[in-house]
């Protein structure tokens, strides 16, 4: 490797500098705010305190945190239950069609998040398509309040993150040696037992990667609860938003953000460890 092999660090430097200056430093700055007091007029009063963290643990906010976690977990489980069969079906499609199917499964993920969420307002509205459909089926009562419910929030989150889970699971499925499934059949296991004992265990890393991603993005989400929850649903993301833009309590908002980042880091590490373990990389135990 002779091309500029002498100065990889020089090549990386501008990008690294940008990320340090506009990601690492700002994040550290805002996280440091968590240790200070709120100023009288909304600014920062640089007096050390741990009060903000105590407030995060306050039942009022802890409940919102747990509630967000519950919604994020429900979203994750539903997304996996839909994505696995879809990814499996794509991996079983004719080879030439697989990249196309995958591309169209992932395409919505890259298009505008707001618009995709907004589409569900149109669908779930009291005058929306779903209510119209139910009425045309003979329902005559009051239109159902589908929007601004927890169900609407979860539907929106599942809808938005489903493509990523499909992709994550597909990528482990497609890397699986098909002879492993054949070997299982050959050794006497039917299709169902082959799935539970070989295919599923070997694709769990993909499930975990997709799941952690959806959970992390859901628990910190702000747009979906704001639009589909109609403000009735406070999630951590909304709480952070409020502290910075309406309540003007930046230190408390920073403490909440820190809790989000901590959750994310813990989950990512757990997933990385679990993946390494599952793929049998724990060398030297028996050697």
* Cβ at position 104, least distance to other proteins in Å: 7
* Cβ at position 34, least distance to other proteins in Å: 11
| Helix boundaries (H) for the chain | 8-19, 25-33, 51-57, 59-92, 98-110, 113-124, 129-136, 150-175, 178-186, 191-194, 200-219, 223-228, 236-245, 250-278
193, 149 contact by CB (below 8 A): no
72: closest CA among 220, 215, 248, 285? Answer: 215
Q: Which of 69, 77, 78, 106 binds other proteins (CB under 8 A)?
A: 106
* Cβ at position 63, least distance to other proteins in Å: 19
* Cβ at position 168, least distance to other proteins in Å: 5
Is there binding between residue 72 and other proteins (CB under 8 A)? Answer: no
**Identity of the residue, 144 or 264, whose beta carbon is nearer to other proteins in the bound complex:** 264
53: closest CA among 69, 41, 65, 43? Answer: 65
Phi, psi for residue 65 in degrees, rounded to 5: -60, -50
Q: Which residues of 77-96 are buried (b: 16+ CB within 10 A; e: fewer)?
A: ebbbeebbebbbebbeeeee
Distance CA 151, CA 15 (A): 41
Name residues contacting other proteins, limited to 169-198 (CB under 8 A): 170-171, 174-191, 193, 197-198
Six-digit token string for 270: 């757990």
Name residues contacting other proteins, limited to 227-286 (CB under 8 A): 227, 237, 240-241, 244-245, 250, 253-254, 257, 260-261, 264, 268-269, 271-272, 275-276, 278-286
Name residues contacting other proteins, limited to 198-237 (CB under 8 A): 198, 201-202, 205-206, 209-210, 212-213, 216-217, 219-223, 226-227, 237
Q: Which of 46, 103, 139, 196 binds other proteins (CB under 8 A)?
A: 103
* Cβ at position 227, least distance to other proteins in Å: 6
Contacting range for other proteins; rule: CB under 8 A; set: 52-60, 63-71, 88-96, 146-154? 88-96
**Identity of the residue, 138 or 190, whose beta carbon is nearer to other proteins in the bound complex:** 190
197: closest CA among 186, 212, 210, 181? Answer: 181
255, 52 contact by CB (below 8 A): yes
Contacting range for other proteins; rule: CB under 8 A; set: 46-54, 57-65, 103-111, 146-154? 103-111
Name residues contacting other proteins, limited to 24-53 (CB under 8 A): 24-27, 29-31, 33
Phi, psi for residue 48 in degrees, rounded to 5: -65, 135
Distance CA 207, CA 197 (A): 15
| # chain residues binding other proteins, by CB under 8 A | 141
Name residues contacting other proteins, limited to 107-166 (CB under 8 A): 107-108, 110-116, 118-123, 125, 127-129, 132, 159, 162-164, 166
């Amino acid at each position: 490797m002779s091309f500029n092999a002498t100065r990889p660090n020089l090549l990386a430097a501008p990008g690294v500098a940008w990320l340090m200056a506009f990601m690492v430093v700002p994040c550290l700055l805002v996280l440091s705010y968590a240790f200070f007091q709120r100023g009288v007029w909304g600014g920062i009063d640089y007096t050390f305190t741990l009060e903000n963290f105590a407030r995060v643990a306050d039942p009022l906010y802890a409940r919102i945190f747990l509630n967000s976690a519950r919604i994020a977990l429900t979203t994750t489980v539903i997304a996996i239950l839909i994505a696995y069969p879809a990814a499996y079906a794509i991996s079983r499609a004719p080879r030439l069609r697989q990249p196309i199917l995958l591309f169209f499964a992932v395409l919505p993920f890259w298009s505008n998040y707001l618009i995709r969420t907004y589409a569900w307002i149109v669908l779930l509205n009291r005058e929306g398509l779903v209510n119209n459909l139910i009425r045309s089926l003979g329902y005559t009562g009051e239109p159902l309040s589908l929007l601004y419910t927890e169900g609407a929030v979860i539907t929106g989150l599942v809808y938005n993150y489903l493509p990523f889970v499909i992709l994550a699971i597909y990528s482990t499925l497609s890397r699986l040696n098909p002879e492993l499934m054949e070997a299982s059949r050959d050794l006497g296991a039917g299709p169902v037992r082959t799935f539970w004992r070989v295919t599923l265990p070997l694709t769990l890393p993909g499930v975990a990667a997709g799941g952690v991603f959806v959970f992390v993005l859901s628990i910190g989400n702000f747009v979906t609860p704001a639009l589909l929850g109609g403000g009735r649903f406070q999630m951590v993301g909304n709480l952070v938003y409020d502290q910075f833009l309406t309540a003007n309590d930046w230190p408390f908002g920073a403490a909440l953000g820190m809790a989000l980042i901590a959750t994310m880091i813990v989950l990512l590490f757990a997933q990385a460890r679990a993946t390494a373990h599952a793929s049998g990389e724990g060398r030297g135990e028996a050697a």
